[in-house]
Amino acid sequence: MTKHVTSVDQSDRKVPYNLRQSGSTPVQMLISTRVRKSPYWHLSMEAGCWRATVYNRIYHPRGYVKPEDGGAMVEYEAIKNHVTMWNVAVERQIQVKGPDAEAFTDYVITRDATKISPMRARYVILCNHMGGVLNDPILLRVSKDEFWFSLSDSDIGLYLQGVNHDKRFNVEIDEIDVCPVQIQGPKSLALMKDLIGDQVDLDNIPFYGLAEAKVGGRDCVISQSGFSGEAGYEIYLHDATLYADDMWNAVLEAGKKHNLMVIAPAHHRRIQAGILSWGQDMDNQHNPFQCNLGYQVSLSGKGEWNKKTNYVGKDALEKMKKDLSEGQKPYKLQLVGMTFGGKPVEEYAPDFWLISPYEGGEQCGYVTSPWYHPEQKRNIAMGYIPFDGALNAKGFPIGNYGQKFKVHLPDEYSDTSGIPVDAEVVPIPFTESFNANTREVSNG
C-alpha cells in the first residue's frame, strides 16, 4: 500500500486532503434508511442505474451504461449529440422565506443578492468567517421574499438555521419538498418545447431565467441552467415525493423522438467547461481566490466592487485580496487547468493523483478532476500546484500557463509503469460552455 504523501504542502489546512493512493477498491454499497432515497430513486433503477454514491446524505445515481457496454463515454456521446435527463434530487432545496429574505441572503453569500430579480437565478458561493467556501449553490429567487438555495454537497440548511438562531432576520429557513432533474444536451430546447408547449416562451427565457410550468400535470419551476456546459434546463418539481413518477414519465415520453437518454451527471463535460465540484475541486478550507472563484467576491473600493457593506467572510477575503495585490502568498496551492499524457482516462479517478516538478523531486500537488477530451484527443484535468503568485490583468490568481509538471498515473493509464507522464498548465475552460461563463467583476 502506497504510504500517505506528506511532501505536498498542505500546512494551511486543518485537515489535509488524503493523498494515499489506494486505487480502485470495489465494495458493495449498503442501502439503508440512514441515508435518504430521493423521490426519483426507483425511477433511476428502472432506467438502468448500476452504481451510486452518497451526496448531501442522499443516494445519488452515478452510472447507467456498464463498462462492458461502453461506460461513461456512451453517456458522453448522448449529451454531446442528443439530450439527457439526470436525477439530481441530491441538489436539496433550502427555502429562505420572509420579509428579511433578501437581507439574510445578502449576508450569507459573497455576491450582491439585491441585484437578483424575482424569477432569476445565479451561481453563488457562501463562505465561513475564515473565507473558506462552504457551498457553491445555484440561488433561485422565486419571489421578492423567497429564495431557494439549490445545494452542492454540504449541508447548508443547518448552517443557515445556525446563522439565524437568534431570529435576527425575520425569515423561515427549511428544506422544502422540491427536487430537480436536469435536461442537458443540444436537443434540450426542442424537448422542453414538446414537454411544456406554450406555457413558457422558451426562446426568450434568459440564462438563469426562471418560469413556472406544469410538467406531467404537476407544478414545476423551470430554469435555463445546468452542470454540463451544454444547452440545458432544470425542472424543479413541487411536492416531489408525491408526483415524481408523473413528471419523470412525462419527460421520458416527450424525449422518445429526441433520443433522450437517462444518464449520470456529466462530469466529463463539466470538467471541459471548468465547472467546479464541491468536495472534489474545493471545500471549506479553500478560499475563493485559490479555486478561481475570486470574481464572486464583493470587496470594498470603487465601482462594481463596492456593493456590500457586510457579509460572512468579508474581512478575511479582503485581507487575502490585499495580500495578493501586494505580492504575498496567503495560501499554498492554486487550482489550475492541465493537460497530461498517458492513456485516455474515461472513468472516475479513485484517488487524487499526485503531481511533481517537471525536473524531478518530491510530489508538490495533486489532480482533482481528470478526464479524457475526445475532441481534443488528450487528457485534461483540474488540480492544485504550488501557488507562485501569478495574477491576471484583473488581479486574480492564475496558473502560469505553459509551466510543465509530471503527473503520477496508476498503471492502467500509464504509458510505462511507474514513470510519470508530462503535464502542462493551460487556461480553463478547455471547451467553452453553450452559455459562456463570463466571469466578470460584477455582483449581480
Instruction: Read off the DSSP letter of residue 209.
Output: B
pLDDT in the model for residue 437: 54
Q: What do you get for the CA distance between the two ends of the chain, in Å? A: 49
pLDDT band at 394 (very low <50, low <70, confident <90, very high): confident
**Whether pLDDT at 305 is above 50:** no
Q: Are 104 and 96 in contact (CB under 8 A)?
A: yes
CB burial of 162-194 (b: ≥16 within 10 Å; e: otherwise) equals ebbeeeebebebeebebbbbbbbbbbbbbbbee
Q: Which CATH class is domain 33-265?
A: alpha beta
pLDDT band at 344 (very low <50, low <70, confident <90, very high): very high
Using a 10 angstrom Cβ sphere, with 0-12 exposed, 13-18 middle and 19 or more buried, the burial of residue 434 is middle
**Whether pLDDT at 39 is above 50:** yes
Average pLDDT over residues 325-331: 94
Q: Are 89 and 179 in contact (CB under 8 A)?
A: yes
pLDDT in the model for residue 298: 85
Q: Are 75 and 65 in contact (CB under 8 A)?
A: yes
Query: Minimum mean pLDDT among 29-38, 106-115, 353-362, 430-439: which range?
Result: 430-439
**Whether pLDDT at 372 is above 90:** yes
pLDDT in the model for residue 319: 95
More reliable by pLDDT, 19 or 305? 19
**Whether pLDDT at 387 is above 60:** yes
pLDDT in the model for residue 301: 54
Cα 106 to Cα 289: distance, rounded to the nearest angstrom: 20
pLDDT in the model for residue 438: 44
Distances (CA, A) of 249 to 2, 220, 262, 266: 47, 14, 12, 21
Cα 172 to Cα 145: distance, rounded to the nearest angstrom: 11
**pLDDT averaged over the chain?**
94
**Whether pLDDT at 125 is above 80:** yes
**Whether pLDDT at 361 is above 70:** yes
Q: For the CA atoms of the chain, what is the radius of gyration?
A: 22
Average pLDDT over residues 82-104: 98
**Whether pLDDT at 315 is above 80:** yes
pLDDT in the model for residue 251: 98
pLDDT in the model for residue 1: 53
Q: Which residues pair with 290 in a beta bridge?
A: none
Summarised one tens digit per residue, pLDDT across range 162-176 is: 999 999 999 999 999
**Whether pLDDT at 218 is above 60:** yes
Fold of the domain spanning 1-30+277-291+332-437: Elongation Factor Tu (Ef-tu); domain 3 (2.40.30)
| DSSP helix/strand/coil, 240 | helix
pLDDT band at 26 (very low <50, low <70, confident <90, very high): confident
Listed by start position, the domains of the chain span: 1-30+277-291+332-437, 33-265
Q: Are 383 and 428 in contact (CB under 8 A)?
A: no
Q: Cell numbers for 386, please give them.
A: 504550488
Q: Which residues pair with 94 in a beta bridge?
A: 149, 175
